[in-house]
Amino acid sequence: MTAHASDPRPLTSRRDGALRGRVRVPGDKSISHRAFLFGGLASGRTRVTGLLEGEDVLATGRAMRQMGARIEREGDAWVIDGTGNGALLEPEGVLDFGNAGTGSRLTMGLVGPYEFTTTFVGDASLSRRPMGRVLDPLREMGVQVLARSKDRLPLSLRGPRVAAPIEYRVPMASAQVKSAVLLAGLNTPGVTTVIEPVMTRDHTEKMLEGFGARVSVETDGAGVRTIRLEGQGELRGVPDFVVPGDPSSAAFLVVAALLVPGSDVVIENALMNPTRTGLVETLREMGADIEILNPRLSGGEDVADLHVRHSALRGVSVPAARAPSMIDEYPVLAVAAAFADGTTRMEGLEELRVKESDRLAAVAAGLAANGVTHEEGPDWLTVTGRPDGRGLGGGTVETHLDHRIAMSFLVMGLASEKPVTVDDATMIATSFPEFEGLVTGLGGVLEPAARSEHSKG
């Protein structure tokens, strides 16, 4: 369990001067999880720089260490000596993933086909999150699932003597489900096939190829992707693996710079994979001044520097088809929309109901607490903004242990007329431990809130 459940740390942000400077955001969370997973499984040595050292990612590293990988920090790099594909060891204790939804689901896929028992536990937030979408295809491959409550942590997996390769059509746009099935295919004889009607972030496919797996991707005329993985092949360590900057972390600084008058900020080394740039695309449609500088390749991925200046934004309609490329960025987009001229409508948000919190409900409640005109539907949200921020702020936001809710509303307080308080900032460390330091380094004001202000929770 993590400490924040019992010891909250309320934090307040308030408007002060412009934000200015150059910052480098920490490594991408999705790629960092996979670096530990693939490096820990590959034969030979992988050296990783730029890894996100948040609690979620480190939980994945600990799990791989429990299953036989050697993982050590050397200077600014992580050095991983993997077990070799098919050679993971049965862990002696439980695998504790804390708050890490991605780490737990991907690891379930990885270990599912092994003929041993693995027990997964997590904190209160993770234990409420449904795991069935990953467990269903694993059951088709022959994996047994033992759970105290239906498909939720704590649960144990036991693999069959020989797992069965499957052809699995992913029923929702989910990179985690796709990735879990592909990872399960690594220790399964034959070809595992995943059919993806809507493209999601493709780091798993790219990285599998980089580590030497035999994987192929075909896209038909309707955009349906078919991914085939040949099982039980060799994975080889990558001597110099560089993790690009996390676009979901960069999003908070981008929006803060757009909203705070006079701001001029450069965010270096941001991942620009086309499956992850929905927010930048949407903000530009809203009138954001975001210049993409020095585009380049790093670790097989597109990266660039983002030059962001304060901008007058206008409301737009965000199509449901864009949701997979910005699913984690909707809370901070809702904050940007609160300062835009007109109404912004966001559709296709059902996935937000099953994040660290019911993220859609948490966003709507945070907007309500801070005087923002909005409407919430089952899978949509509209926000009607006030370009000058007048009358906005002054509320306390319940984060529900959700790091993205906490950071989004702290960004709001940097631009609103009245300060904004979040009931707990502790869990920000799960994904973006440098957040507070980077914001204050650019000139933003974050300060401890009096406990009494938020005692209602």
- Continuous segment of H or E residues that includes residue 55: helix 55-66
DSSP β-ladder status, 20-24 and 264-271: parallel
Residue 297 confidence (pLDDT): 80
76 assigned to active site: no
Residue 451 confidence (pLDDT): 57
First to last CA, the chain: 20
Residue 7 confidence (pLDDT): 85
Residue 191 confidence (pLDDT): 98
Helix pair angle (247-259, 330-337), 10° resolution: 10
From the candidates 96, 202, 305, 328, give the one annotated as an active-site residue.
328
Q: What angle do CA 178, 180, 185 make, to 5 degrees?
A: 95
Residue 457 confidence (pLDDT): 37
Residue 299 confidence (pLDDT): 65
Phi, psi of 277 (to 5 degrees): -105, 20
Written as six digits, the tokens of 70 are: 């050697």
pTM, rounded to two decimals: 0.79
Place of tokens 């996935």: 351
Max Cα distance, the chain (Å): 64
* Alpha carbons 218 and 194: distance in angstroms, whole number: 11
- Mean pLDDT per 10-residue segment, the chain (457 residues): 62 97 92 97 97 94 98 97 98 96 97 98 94 97 94 97 98 94 98 95 93 96 96 96 92 98 96 93 98 86 94 98 92 98 96 86 98 97 96 97 96 98 94 94 95 43
Residue 381 confidence (pLDDT): 98
Contact 433, 407 (CB under 8 A): no
